[in-house]
Amino acid sequence: MTTVLTTNVPDEIRTILPKVINIPRDTLYFKQALHFICLTIGSRGDVQLYIALALGLKHWRLVTIVTHEEYKEWVVGFGIEHRTAGGDPGALMKLSVENKMFSPEFFKESLTNFHPWLDQLLADAWEQCQGADVLLESPSVMAGVHIAKALSKS
């Protein structure tokens, strides 16, 4: 959504604004900020990368991190919005260490013993990513591209 405001713009402000061609100098445009949603699961290190990114973006954009409930207090402590994605990061890390990440054994073990957990994680991720204008996904989530495609159609 774009809002147009026509007003007397002070000279000190007008000089630092970019010149827009064929628009009166007293017209300012305000474009609604995009909502960036960062979707990540896994270890504290996986989340920390998105906290750093969110800190850089939050001055100009609305940023939300979707991750495990265990990290909520940490994320919110930086003034970043948090939404919960299910799953136990400890169990995921154990699975990843015992079975090389994305190996056939990893997927076999995941589907055999973690199927309900994965279903809940994917359902939570879909629900919590609603309202995203930009979706940034950690590769470990594996669903971000599908969520982004579905969001673009809704």
pLDDT confidence of residue 145? 86
* Residues 45, 7 share a domain: no
* Residues 141, 76 share a domain: yes
Q: What string of DSSP letters covers 79-128? A: T-EEEE--S-HHHHHHHHHHS-TTSHHHHHHHHHHSHHHHHHHHHHHHHH
Q: Which residue has the tokens 């809002």?
A: 3
The tokens describing 45, both together, are: 């290190």
* Residues 56, 86 share a domain: yes
* Residues 8, 53 share a domain: no
Report the alpha-carbon distance of residue 142 to residue 96 in Å, rounded: 14
* Residues 86, 15 share a domain: no
Residue pLDDT tens, the chain, 154 long: 455 555 566 666 666 666 666 666 666 555 667 899 999 988 899 899 999 999 999 887 899 999 999 999 999 999 999 999 877 777 777 777 777 766 788 778 777 777 787 788 888 999 999 999 999 998 777 788 889 888 887 6
Torsion 124-126-128-129 (CA) sign? positive
Q: Which structural domain range is residue 75 located in?
A: 35-153
